[in-house]
Amino acid sequence: MFDGVPTYRGTKYTFEKHFLGPDRVPRFDGKGDDGADGEEFKAAQLIDAMPEVEYWVRNVARHPNAFRLPASGGWTYPDFVARLNDRRILVTEYKGDHLIAGAAEKQAVGDLWASQDDHSNVYVFAQRNVDGKDVREQIRSRL
């Protein structure tokens, strides 16, 4: 699916539910050679540990096989796409605190996408902490 994309080497955590397997998780954005010291990596760990998630994938921006949504400047590529145990699709855009200001369009596009399919799609615009809720709690509040 994402051939040729640099991968996370599994040095800090072994993902159990990644669709491509634990050795094929695309590299995360963030600190370190494979992004394993960044906030996006921590968000992935929380998603991977959720019992509601059957499997998920780290979406790769601008890759021809990536999930994308239309935006005014082209496309937006949410960070994570998951299939829930109840067969709904969960799309999560994770933004670090320093990137929130310019992301209103991404949130609006994702919310519109989710509203078009009779509640079988869920979109979450997640941050490290919103009103005391971590990423997992932010997702659960939308489910």
- List C-alpha distances in Å: 135 to 9, 49, 96: 23, 11, 11
Summarize pLDDT for 27-57 with one digit per residue, the tens.
Answer: 998 877 778 888 899 999 999 999 999 999 9
Structure tokens at 36: 């394993």
In the chain, where are the structural domains located? 53-142
pLDDT, mean over the chain: 89
Q: Distance between CA atoms of 94 and 92, rounded to whole angstroms?
A: 6
93, 100 in Cβ contact below 8 A? no
d(CA 107, CA 125): 6
Q: Which pLDDT belongs to residue 101?
A: 53
4-19: per-residue pLDDT in tens? 999 998 888 999 999 9
What pTM did the predictor assign?
A: 0.91
N-terminal to C-terminal alpha carbon distance within the chain: 27
Give the residue carrying structure tokens 């998603």: 47
- Residue with token string 């994702």: 110
Give 119's pLDDT tier (boundaries 50, 70, 90). confident
pLDDT of the residue at 24: 94
CA–CA gap between residue 118 and residue 16 (Å, rounded): 30
Q: Is the pLDDT of residue 112 over 70?
A: yes
